[in-house]
Amino acid sequence: MDNFIIAPKQGVPFVSVANMKKLINTLGIEACISALVKCVEADYKRWHLFEKSARYASHSKDGVIELMPVSDGNMFACKYVNGHPINTKQDLQTVAAFGLLADVATGYPILLSEMCVLTALRTAATSAMVAKYCAPTNATTLALIGNGAQSEFQALAMKTVLGIRQFRLYDIDRSASEKTYNNLQGFNIDVVICSSAAEAVTGAHIITTCTADKKNAIVLHNDMITNGVFINAIGGDCPGKTELDSKILQRADKVFVEFEPQTRIEGEIQHLPANFAVTEFHQVVNQQVTARDNDQQLIVFDGVGFASEDFSALVFIRDLLLQQPEYQILDLITQQADPRNLFSVIRES
């Protein structure tokens, strides 16, 4: 089982929210993001080894509950995650998530972890990894449209990986922008709150859209967007939830996706013809295609989040636990002396 922490019959390591906080703060959030970028990129380089499928989704009028499975043949990962924008009205998070890593050879779970914070970190790491290839040369400014739970992580990832120092924030709820502004103080960056999306994108080299409403929306209109920018569109992540004017996609020089069968269902391209040309991003990482040919091109990443990124994040945490054992042991799997005698578990005093 890849030399993990304990024998499978001793219990399952569990990383709680408190454990995750200690792990990240000990390493440092920017160092954590930087390391995650390398993990996500390394797994994109071995994309062909993964057994892939679009995620399972159960939709309701207020949100969606999803399962995201993937395996590289040695380990299996699966994340439970929801998306309920209405939750904030009940003082609950839009997203709740946890993840499992298992040994393929035995089927035994080897790690259970919170994934609210970890998903934010891996999403930011993925955005920065993609931007490293797609952003125009010498990009300095990011417009961040939608300033909810993801926003600070996105900003710090772009700072850490690309050296971005100027951030322009916009959210329909100004208090969300103020929250983000306050949280980013002390990170040696310049943050400005804008009064509209159009103002925020003016002069930006990278535009990240990360809004929460479960509806087809136009957060960015075509006439707002100049040539030469990189649009990191990561808010549209389920059927009926989009952020971009379709004319932007049709006008773009290149549109990249993670796993095309999933993005066709959930991404910005869900409203476009089935033959609309997109490129899976692993082809860029593996140098099969170029992300950007010149600084005048309009490049779009239609990111919905894919299970391999969760796999990368869970393996990253597993390896981090070898250095810093911040976990608890869960009595999750029965551990009777005779593995065939399950009935003995309820008969033992």
237 as an active site residue: the answer is yes
Count CB-CB contacts under 10 A for residue 37.
23
To 10 degrees, what angle do helices 116-134 and 151-162 make? 40
Structural Rg of the chain based on CA atoms: 21
Question: Which residue is catalytic, options 43, 190, 223, 237?
Answer: 237
Between vectors from CA 276 to CA 236 and to CA 50, what angle results, nearest 5°?
65
What would the two tokens of residue 9 be? Answer: 């019959």
Catalytic residue IDs: 237
